[in-house]
């Protein structure tokens, strides 16, 4: 799976969609209730086009700079595509991020929330936002700590007036993700937030069982990343 051809990208995408549908059924959830974010980071535009040609429109990138080199041309050809920022956002890249992304999944600190709010007012663009939760309280990981989440979510909504629609997390790597997914879902319910972005190539069926509305899948579609 180190270098998959374009046709393989479509084949692997179809396999992921089938597994996603099976996970929806197994969890008693309606067909189409979970959306697949194809995570195209590190992969060139010619690996992405086969998915667009096959009708897929939802993608995720983790770097603003890289996304800026790939997506304006793709958007010109496919104006209805939806692009999510799933990686850390520096305050000095907020202007570019607001201009390019439809959803920013990684709002996780006051300085960033304030910068996003100011840029949304300035530009008139309002990409929907998710708050990233450091659900395993890992010291090196981005995201708001669970203990601080309630206050931060509330401040984002009522203070900075950001269009917060959900929560996102990346559970600790060597732990069973299910309890972490469950706690994120509980937190979203408590705040009446409809979107839950959780689950990656290794654990998306379990995220769907726990209530994910968006799963972020890269490797299982595009193959392993070289970088
Ligand atoms: C890279 C990435 C993914 C996709 O991971 P895979 O294991 O390749 O499916 C999902 N979410 C985030 C935040 C990522 O950075």
pLDDT in tens, 109-156: 999 999 999 999 999 999 999 999 999 999 999 999 999 999 999 999
63-117 confidence digits (pLDDT tens): 999 999 999 999 999 999 999 999 999 999 999 999 999 999 999 999 999 999 9
Task: Judge whether residue 53 has pLDDT over 60.
Answer: yes
Question: What pLDDT is recorded for position 82?
Answer: 98
Does 124 map to a domain?
yes
DSSP-derived secondary structure for 63-90 = -HHHHHHHHHHHHHH-TT-EEEE-S---
For residue 227, is it within any domain?
A: no
CA 67 to each of CA 40, 77, 112, 147, 164: distance values in angstroms, whole numbers, following the listed order: 9, 16, 19, 32, 22
Residue 226: per-residue pLDDT = 76
Atom of ligand 1 nearest to the CA of 168: 13
Q: Of 172, 168, 128, 171, give the one whose Cα is nearest residue 149.
A: 168
CA of 122 to the centre of ligand 1 (A): 31
Q: Which ligand 1 atom lies nearest to the CA of residue 170?
A: 13
Report how far residue 168's alpha carbon sits from residue 88's, in angstroms, rounded to the nearest whole number: 12
Q: Which residues line ligand 1 (CB under 6 A)?
A: 39, 41, 62, 86-87, 170, 200-202, 216-220
* Cα-to-centroid distance, 215 and ligand 1 (Å): 9
Q: Which atom of ligand 1 is nearest to the CA of 105?
A: 13
d(CA 19, CA 25): 10
Cβ atoms of 133 and 149 closer than 8 Å: yes
* Residue 1's pLDDT band (cuts 50, 70, 90): very low
Atom index in ligand 1 nearest the CA of residue 106 equals: 13
Q: Positive or negative CA dihedral for 202, 168, 65, 82?
A: positive
CATH number at residue 163: 3.20.20.10
Provide the 3-class DSSP secondary structure of residue 56: coil
pLDDT of residue 224: 86
Q: Is residue 183 part of a domain?
A: yes
Assess if residue 34 is contained within a domain: yes
- Total domain count for the chain? 1
What's the CA gap between 107 and 55, in Å, rounded? 29
Cα angle: 200, vertex 202, 204; to 5 degrees: 50
- Residues 100/64, Cβ–Cβ less than 8 Å: yes
Residue 33 has pLDDT above 50, yes or no: yes
pLDDT, tens digit (0-9, with 9 covering 90-100), for 158-208: 999 999 999 999 999 999 999 999 999 999 999 999 999 999 999 999 999
Q: Choose the residue to mutate in 15, 40, 47, 62 for probing ligand 1, maximizing ligand atoms within 8 Å of C-beta.
A: 62
Share above pLDDT 70 across residues of the chain, in percent, rounded to a whole number: 96
Domain range for 96 is: 6-222
d(CA 187, CA 196): 10
CB 64 within 8 A of CB 97: yes
The answer to whether position 1 is within a domain reads no
Q: Whose CA is nearest to atom 12 of ligand 1?
A: 86
């Amino acid at each position: 799976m180190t270098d998959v051809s374009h046709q393989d990208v479509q084949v692997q995408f179809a396999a992921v969609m089938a597994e996603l549908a099976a996970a929806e059924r197994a969890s008693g959830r309606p067909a189409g209730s979970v959306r697949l974010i194809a995570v195209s980071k590190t992969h060139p535009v010619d690996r992405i086009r086969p998915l667009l040609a096959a009708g897929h429109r939802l993608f995720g990138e983790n770097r603003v700079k890289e996304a800026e080199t790939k997506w304006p041309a793709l958007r010109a050809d496919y104006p209805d595509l939806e692009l999510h920022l799933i990686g850390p956002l520096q305050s000095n890249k907020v202007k570019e991020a607001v201009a390019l992304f439809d959803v920013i999944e990684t709002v996780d600190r006051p300085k960033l929330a304030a910068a996003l709010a100011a840029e949304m007012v300035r530009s008139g663009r309002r990409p929907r936002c998710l708050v990233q939760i450091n659900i395993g309280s890992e010291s090196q990981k981005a995201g708001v700590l669970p203990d601080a989440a309630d206050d931060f979510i509330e401040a984002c909504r009522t203070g900075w007036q950001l269009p917060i629609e959900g929560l996102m997390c990346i559970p600790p790597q060597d732990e069973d993700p299910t309890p972490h997914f469950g706690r994120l879902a509980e937190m979203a319910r408590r705040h009446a937030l409809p979107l839950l972005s959780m689950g990656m190539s290794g654990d998306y069926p379990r995220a769907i069982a726990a209530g994910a509305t968006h799963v972020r899948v890269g490797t299982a579609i595009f193959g392993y990343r070289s970088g």
